[in-house]
Amino acid sequence: MAKILLVIGDAAEVLDTFYPLHRLQEEGYEVHVAGPEVKLYHLVLHERPPGWDITEERPGYKLQSDIAFKNVHPADYAGLVISGGRAPEYLRYDADLLKLTRAFFESGKPVASVCHGIEIVAAAGGLEGGREATTVAKCALDVTTFGGRYVDQEVCVSGNLVTARTWHDNPAWMREFLKQLKAQ
């Protein structure tokens, strides 16, 4: 059974996290949840109420991680999934996470990122050279500032990178990521 690494932290978005977790398990993959340390993480719900310019954040479920970033051996995994929410805002500064994310890009293994997860991809250098990516519109600057080309569409496949805007795009996102995993 191939293993997939799922990156989270406190304030990771519930649907950005649980949808790929369950979808990949459904396909027979062993999913390891990774965070800065092994602990119970607090997820959040993000939704933009009518008339608001920004998302409202509410507490969501909790999820225990299996492994700390510093203990991950990228060679043990077939792919990487980076959840969205606010967690990537601080996780993008974690040197161990950036190192392992770079390893996935260097090896050509599939990397899936949704919403704010693009902040980690960008910080790790995964957008350099004009790679196309989609994300929530307010993170488009993260794509273009770090050498990528932003596209506003439900899912974008650019080499081994599969990106989606928000949890609304989860079915198309995981469909394309699974195609990449099965093609290995």
52-106 pLDDT per residue, tens: 988 888 999 999 999 999 999 999 999 999 999 999 999 999 999 999 999 999 9
* Count of structural domains, the chain: 1
pLDDT score for 131? 97
Q: Catalytic: 22?
A: no
pLDDT score for 166? 96
pLDDT, tens digit (0-9, with 9 covering 90-100), for 118-171: 999 999 999 999 999 999 999 999 999 999 999 999 999 999 999 999 999 999
pLDDT score for 47? 87
* Amino acid (one-letter) located at 88: P
**Phi-psi domain of 96 (left: phi exceeds 0; alpha: psi -120 through 50; beta: other):** alpha
Is residue 177's pLDDT more than 90? yes
CA atoms 31, 22, 48, 149: torsion sign: positive
Phi, psi of 174 (to 5 degrees): -70, -30
CB distance 36 to 67 below 8 Å? no
Q: Please give the residue range of the domain that contains residue 155.
A: 3-183
Domain containing residue 93: CATH number: 3.40.50.880
pLDDT score for 111? 98
Is residue 7's pLDDT more than 90? yes
Annotated catalytic residue, options 42, 73, 116, 168? 116
Phi, psi of 3 (to 5 degrees): -105, 145
